[in-house]
Structure 1
């Protein structure tokens, strides 16, 4: 998988984000029977101040959050709890861009600490979560949440990350 990471906040230097993002994103694609080498993703590693601006601009919420995602295409299913229409890239073409995710260091670190999780485990979960959003998964309804959370739990288990729920 081709992952472009832009690190805007120096706190991220203490984290092996490139490795975590690659491992979590590829595991997500493999769980969905998608070949990672055919896909691309952009990741913004920022701070709470930057993600608060993005959250306000794109979601109308004036607070920081842990992860935001912007799918490149709308793959969501019209039926709650059903699989999205997953992308089918050209195997000989360039990698298909699935979208962008942004992570806020302070919020992620605080949440991990409050939940008694390691930061790498929490970040792995948030990357899996963000990639699933980029692929059309959501958690707005109970059936959608059950589908998405079930996938997250299975993917994270394969990575040796405890069930986040």
Structure 2
């Protein structure tokens, strides 16, 4: 698969992700290779009130959360990440990398509703994060 089959857009109005110095396009390409399909992803960095409103609309939960994925078409969708929620949970901004991978896998159709699905998604996440030289979130606090 050619890397230019993938598209990535970023909405980060406060330039929050600049502190990460992370190549999101590279992560998109590795994830695309792992699932063997191109991805069209927009990553949106949002605040707590916006996340709370979206979580209520999308999942009927009137609280903020760390990440939401909104698939639109096959392997196409938006990921919404809330850095302030992540920080309030005791994680640093590197957690965004894991949540980005997690969100892309949801857009690609993966779930963690059942043990087998969880195991498959976790295996994909660990493989992709290893390729990106990122820690395994299932064995380390990061």
TM-score category, normalised to shorter length: 0.7 to 0.9
1:16 Cα shift?
A: 4.5
Which whole-Å CA distance do the structure 1 matches of 2:36 and 2:17 have between them? 32
* Secondary structure of residue in 1 paired with 2:104: helix
Give runs of aligned pairs for residues 100-111 of structure 1, distance below 5 A.
Answer: 100-111=78-89
Matched residues in 2 for 1:53 and 1:15: separation?
A: 26
CA-CA distance at 1:107 after TM superposition: 1.4
Distance in structure 2 (CA, Å) of the matches to 1:68 and 1:13: 17
Does the 8 Å CA contact 1:20/1:123 hold for their aligned counterparts?
A: no
Measure the CA separation in 2 of the matches of 1:100 and 1:128: 12
Aligned to 2:128: 155
Any unmatched runs of 5+ in structure 1?
74-86, 88-96
Match of 2:61 in 1: 61
Once the 2 structures are TM-superposed, how far is the Cα of residue 6 of structure 1 from its aligned partner? 1.6
In the alignment, the residues of structure 2 paired with residue 13 and residue 99 of structure 1 have an alpha-carbon distance, to the nearest angstrom, of: 19
Alpha-carbon shift at residue 110 of structure 1 (Å)? 3.3
Q: 1:3-48 deviations in whole A, cap 9, x for unaligned?
A: 121224x26165347x4432322221111233xxx53211211111
Question: RMSD of the alignment, in Å?
Answer: 2.1
- Alpha-carbon distance in structure 1 between the residues aligned to 2:87 and 2:15: 10
Q: Select 2:32's aligned residue among 18, 29, 32.
A: 29
Aligned mates of 2:85, 2:10 — CA distance in 1: 18
2:113 match: secondary structure = coil
Higher Cα Rg, which structure: 1
Q: Which of structures 1 and 2 has the larger relative contact order (alpha carbons within 8 angstroms, sep 6+)? A: 1
After TM superposition, the score normalised by the length of structure 1 is 0.72
Q: Which runs of 5+ in 2 are unaligned?
A: 1-5
The alpha-carbon distance between structure 1 residues 110 and 22, as it changes in their structure 2 partners (threshold 3 A), is: farther
